[in-house]
Amino acid sequence: MRTRLLPATLVIGLLAPVIDVTVQAHHSHAMFDLSKEVTLTGTISKVLFRNPHVMLILDVKGPDGQTVSWTVEMSTIEIENRRGLTPSMLKPGDVITVKLNPLRDGSKGGNYTSLTTADGKTFD
């Protein structure tokens, strides 16, 4: 099953009069390469539902059999909750798929644009 949600920018736009001053991006996202999108399927090794960012580490096995750990940056707890993504839905050991804008400097990290959980729900 795929849970299709409104794009985050649209949600924020619609709610802007109400939440603009209560939901803050922690930093600008200019360090992420908006022109690139990487799709990763891997196993969650660590996940933190914390402010200012929900974060997870995704262990991804490459074609050479080597596992590489990626840091996946998400939004605040409030914004993730608004998208329907709650702490109980992401657990270490879950195999998930993440699309992200990678860090420009090539480090193994990025800002997610969509996430598909182990049971097939997609949040973007």
Q: Which of 32, 74, 75, 123 binds another protein (CB under 8 A)?
A: 32
Our CB check for another protein shows the closer of 52 and 120 to be 52
- The closest alpha carbon to 70, from 48, 104, 100, belongs to 100
Residues that contact another protein, how many (by CB under 8 A):
42
Q: Which of residues 69-98 bind another protein (CB under 8 A)?
A: 69, 71, 76-78, 81-82
For residues 121 and 3, the answer to whether their CB atoms sit within 8 Å is yes
Is 42 a residue that touches another protein (CB under 8 A)?
no
Give the C-alpha distances (Å, rounded to integers) separating 48 from 9, 36, 94.
23, 25, 14
- Decide if residue 21 touches another protein (CB under 8 A): yes
Positive or negative: CA dihedral 82, 84, 87, 93: negative
Is residue 33 near another protein by the rule CB under 8 A? yes
> What tokens appear for 7 in the block?
């794009």
Binding another protein (rule: CB under 8 A), the pick from 39, 41, 67, 107 is 107
